[in-house]
Copies of this chain bind each other. A is one copy, B any other.
Amino acid sequence: MARTRRPAAPAADGPDARGRLLEAGQAAFADRGFDGATVRDICRRAGVNIAGVTYHFGGKEGLYVEAVKHAHTCAARMNDFPAPPPGTPPVEKLRVFIREMVARMHAPASTTAMKLMMREMADPGRAAGVVVDEFIRPVAFALRGILRELLPGLDEPRLLATGFSVIGQILFYRQNRPVSELIFGKAAVDALDAGLVTDHVTRFTLAALGLAEPVGSSPRRGGTA
């Protein structure tokens, strides 16, 4: 009678074993990587037997792919960018794009989901294609469209490079935050909150495109909205 059939550790009323494995796997893969995370640890955290991974996902790699897909499903409200009303001037579209992008990098819907996807992007493999197709590429082409409107005469390579300049600025804060903190100290980097970064990147970019006053020109902030 001491034997309870129900799973031991976590909430038994929540998602089923498969769902719990998915979430535990997402968390484990996010902060230990594919090789670093172990099936045993994932199952322990999910309150599921070791055999559960093979049973539900066919193996560790299957769980990984599904976890990444699940992550992109979670965090990929990237699509639901607030669609600007038609007739919105391109400059305003770019402003919105940068603001939304910075916001999602600083405070993503799911931290672990974002970490997992970033890890997969760092060295692509296994599930990179899925993330790129449904998560990254739409955003990239949206940005390219905006920039094409703004710079109709620019040749393709330079347009691409301009897009990379925008994304590169934004991505930096997510990809290189730990190193930045090692260099300049955590306090200095933490001072750059989403608002300030949005402000700066918008102004830096618009100034580079000749659509705003250059950085440092005016002591007052006059960037975004």
Is A86 located at the chain interface by the 8 A CB criterion?
A: no
A59 at the interface (CB under 8 A from B): no
Are A201 and B165 touching (Cβ within 8 A)?
Answer: yes
Contact A124 B182 (CB under 8 A): yes
Interface residues on A, range: 35 or more
Copies in the complex: 2
Which residue of B161, B178, B200, B201 contacts A197 across the interface (Cβ within 8 Å)? B161
Q: How far is the CA of A169 from the CA of B172 in the complex (A)?
A: 8
CA distance A153 to B215 in the complex (A): 11
A55 in the interface, Cβ–Cβ < 8 Å?
A: no
Give the contact stretch, choosing among A3-11, A74-82, A87-95, A205-213.
A205-213
Q: Separation in Å of the A194 CB from the closest CB of chain B?
A: 12
Contacts of A35 in B (CB 8 A): 33, 35-36
By a beta-carbon cutoff of 8 Å, the part of chain A in contact with chain B is 33, 35-36, 121-124, 128-129, 132, 136-137, 140, 150-151, 153-154, 156-158, 160-162, 164-165, 167-173, 175-176, 178-180, 182-184, 188-189, 191-192, 196-197, 200-201, 203-205, 207-211, 213-217, 219
